[in-house]
Amino acid sequence: MEDYGLIGDCASCALVGRNGSIDWLCWPRFDSAACIAALVGTEENGRWLVAPVEFVTSKRAYRDSGMVLETIFETRTGRVALIDFMPIDAAAPTIVRIVEGRGGQVEMTNKLKLRFDYGTSIPWVTRLPDEAGITAIAGPALVVLRTEVPLEGEDMRTVSNFTVKEGERFTFVMSYGPSHLPAPAAIDVDQALSHTLTYWEEWAGRCAYDGPHSHAVKRSLVTLKALTFAETGGIVAAPTTSLPEQIGGGRNWDYRFCWLRDATLTLVAMMAGGYYDEARRWRDWLHRSVAGSPEQLQIMYGIAGERQLMEWEVPWLVGYEGSVPVRVGNAAAGQLQLDVYGEVISALHLARRENLRQANYGWSLQLGLLEHLETIWKEPDEGMWEVRGGRKQFTVSKAFCWMAFDRSIKDIEDYDLPGPVERWRAVRDEIHAMICSEGFNKEKNSFTQSFGTDALDAGLLLLPVIGFLPGDDPRILGTVEAVERELLVDGFVLRYRTDETADGLSGGEGAFLACSFWLVDSYVVLGRYAEAEALFDRLVGLSNDLGLLAEEYDPHLRRQVGNFPQAFSHVALVSAAVHLRNRKVPVRGEMEEAA
Ligand SMILES: OC[C@H]1O[C@H](O[C@H]2O[C@H](CO)[C@@H](O)[C@H](O)[C@H]2O)[C@H](O)[C@@H](O)[C@@H]1O
């Protein structure tokens, strides 16, 4: 996974290997069917390679702070640059690949194999009538490729071999459109490049964070922005499906959707970075998506607020390094995860405090959610880790219910909003008392994953962060110690032990990067700054050469695992950096001091 770089246009994105191969592309949206799917299959499922026929090394970096990726190939005969980007604000979704000779001369190859419908549908390819290039049509989709380089059809793919000499430049421009309309028009490549560079530079330049690790923080925020669907303000958890949590394993999920949990945390990170527009747009997305009957609140939605996210397995894809099944859609959409109420309500609370313009139904929506929560908070749920082994009384879920009532009570107190505040105070206290008696194991001196068990859960690290108990409470100290004792692998944090939690899934998984950043936060809360710094540095050190993080890290194989790049990991990195710099972790719902 570390070999991939991300390019995107805030509608979709592509993963580009350090070998010049685009192996993942979904058009026109993040959640559309992939038309290039080699990432979770083989070359036969679609890829687009532009690279030297042979090279010795390749080195890459983003230009400036943005999403224009430059890969430099050194070959025995010369040096060549490949510049990849997806133009911002183009009339049609587009990928531009520019080949520039930077020394000597280099034999290059271009191999395009489009396979629509997640790597299975072979398109009908024809030459463009009046200009150089081809169109590929498969059902509703049309892709057009324009280039000065002569193209040939070979083995059901489009290829070209060409030579690039120092100072020479060739362009490949591929765009998507619906097949019942004329092919998208040609674009001005230089203008698109300069506009895209300026867009990202300007966006990154607005970052309010100033402090240690600012490069990693900026790269994380730019990555989060790239995972945002600009049209609606929704944010995907990751742009990929089924990158495995264990190489060869079956814990492979589709993350191209908008989780309320992940996205509300993104809102907090965006605001910490000074990006209030994005925060506002996400909050508006939230209002629209969850609008309607509070009993129908889902834990996740499509990027435009879609509710049906049917999960299915793709039998023709052999998976990333053999990790099957490859799944599309996500059955977690139908789960009950009570923490989501706390996440959403604390986000609304924070937005209110930060004076983000409110939709006029914001408070009535919150009231409706809380009234519903009042009827269901005692129920078991699937928890924040979305287990598939049956519902339980998860301690963290209950603590987030406590937070939902606590923040709403504060909203009533601070803004004179109408609501049954006395009743809610009583519920808040009842939840608190229940967690402290049922969710705390005296022998272990730790809170536990669910009531009456002695299993641990890294989500418990959030208890002081949400203000459930102060950081110096002996029960919190005991819980952090227990997590350190039982959930660390090589210093990185497992979200729980898969051998002691019946999560309904076989196999294991890597250390969860967001939880590892939460341990950094815990060390800050406890004043253990040197350990916080050291762990943060190690975690940032796991990023690939482009600063990208997956969901998890396998400490045994020493490689990233899980979907890539993952918003949750980058959000947690941003928050931990701010906390480390400020030597303070604000209670969730209070604003981070960004600048
Ligand atoms: O562990 C089983 C579950 O794994 C996925 O959920 C994880 O990803 C979510 C998106 O980042 C995150 O919000 C959640 O906390 C994680 O556990 C998967 O999406 C689920 O379908 C699956 O049951």
Q: Whose CA is nearest to atom 3 of ligand 1?
A: 386
Q: 393-430 burial, b for 16+ CB within 10 Å, e for fewer?
A: bbbbbbbbbbbbbbbbbebbeeeebebeeeebeebbee
Q: What is the pLDDT of residue 586?
A: 82
Structure-token pair, residue 448: 């536990």
386 pLDDT exceeds 70?
Answer: yes
- State which of 245, 385, 563 you would mutate to test the pocket of ligand 1, scoring each by most atoms of that ligand within 8 A of its C-beta: 385
- pLDDT bracket for residue 587 (50, 70, 90): confident
| Cβ–Cβ < 8 Å for 513, 487 | no
Domains in the chain: ranges and CATH: 4-200 (2.70.98.10), 206-582 (1.50.10.10)
pTM for this entry: 0.96
279 pLDDT exceeds 90?
Answer: no
Whole-angstrom CA distances from 107 to 76, 85, 162, 392 are 10, 22, 6, 60
563 pLDDT exceeds 70?
Answer: yes
Q: Whose CA is nearest to atom 22 of ligand 1?
A: 386
- Distance, CA 386 to ligand 1 centroid (Å)? 5
22 pLDDT exceeds 70?
Answer: yes
Note whether ipTM > 0.90 here.
yes
Mean pLDDT over residues 197-222, rounded? 95
- pLDDT bracket for residue 268 (50, 70, 90): confident
Q: Which stretch of 107-121, 285-299, 314-328 has the lowest confidence by average pLDDT? A: 285-299
Q: What is the pLDDT of residue 266?
A: 86
Say yes or no: CB of residue 512 within 6 Å of ligand 1.
no
> Closest ligand 1 atom, CA of 299?
13
**Residue 317: which residues within 8 A CB-CB, separation 6 or more?**
37, 40, 41, 45, 118, 119, 242, 324, 326
- Distance, CA 126 to ligand 1 centroid (Å)? 42
Q: Which stretch of 203-212, 259-268, 329-338, 567-576 has the lowest confidence by average pLDDT? A: 259-268
Instruction: Tokens 């408070």: give the residue.
Output: 363
Q: Of 580, 575, 587, 377, which is closest to residue 469 (Cα–Cα)?
A: 587
Structure-token pair, residue 437: 């008696």
Q: Of 408, 280, 262, which is closest to residue 339 (Cα–Cα)?
A: 262
| Better-predicted residue by pLDDT, 271 or 218 | 218
594 pLDDT exceeds 60?
Answer: no
Say yes or no: CB of residue 385 within 6 Å of ligand 1.
yes
Instruction: Tokens 């949990």: give the residue.
Output: 261
Q: What is the pLDDT of residue 247?
A: 97
On average, the pLDDT of the chain sits at 95
Q: Give the C-alpha separation, 40 to 73, whole Å.
A: 25
Q: What is the pLDDT of residue 595?
A: 45
Q: Whose CA is nearest to atom 17 of ligand 1?
A: 385
| Cβ–Cβ < 8 Å for 255, 236 | yes
> Closest ligand 1 atom, CA of 259?
13
Q: What is the pLDDT of residue 469?
A: 97
593 pLDDT exceeds 90?
Answer: no
| Cβ–Cβ < 8 Å for 309, 341 | no
End-to-end CA distance of the chain: 33
Say yes or no: CB of residue 262 within 6 Å of ligand 1.
yes
Q: What is the pLDDT of residue 365?
A: 87
- Distance, CA 237 to ligand 1 centroid (Å)? 9
pLDDT in tens, 118-176: 999 999 999 998 889 999 999 999 999 999 999 999 989 999 999 999 999 999 999 99
**Residue 200: which residues within 8 A CB-CB, separation 6 or more?**
64, 65, 66, 67, 68, 88, 222
DSSP letter assigned to residue 383: T
Rg (the chain; Cα; Å): 24
Burial class (CB in 10 A: 0-12, 13-18, 19+), 150: exposed
Mean pLDDT: which of 210-214, 276-280, 544-548 is highest? 544-548
- State which of 235, 245, 253, 571 you would mutate to test the pocket of ligand 1, scoring each by most atoms of that ligand within 8 A of its C-beta: 253
pLDDT in tens, 482-535: 999 999 999 999 999 999 888 999 999 999 999 999 999 999 999 999 999 999
- State which of 255, 386, 515 you would mutate to test the pocket of ligand 1, scoring each by most atoms of that ligand within 8 A of its C-beta: 386
Q: Of 84, 86, 91, which is closest to residue 70 (Cα–Cα)?
A: 84
Structure-token pair, residue 542: 């796991």
Q: What is the pLDDT of residue 505?
A: 92
Mean pLDDT over residues 271-276, rounded? 88
pLDDT in tens, 346-366: 888 888 877 665 555 678 889
Percent with pLDDT over 90 in the chain: 86
Percent with pLDDT over 70 in the chain: 98
Q: Give the C-alpha separation, 415 to 363, whole Å.
A: 11
Structure-token pair, residue 434: 């229940």
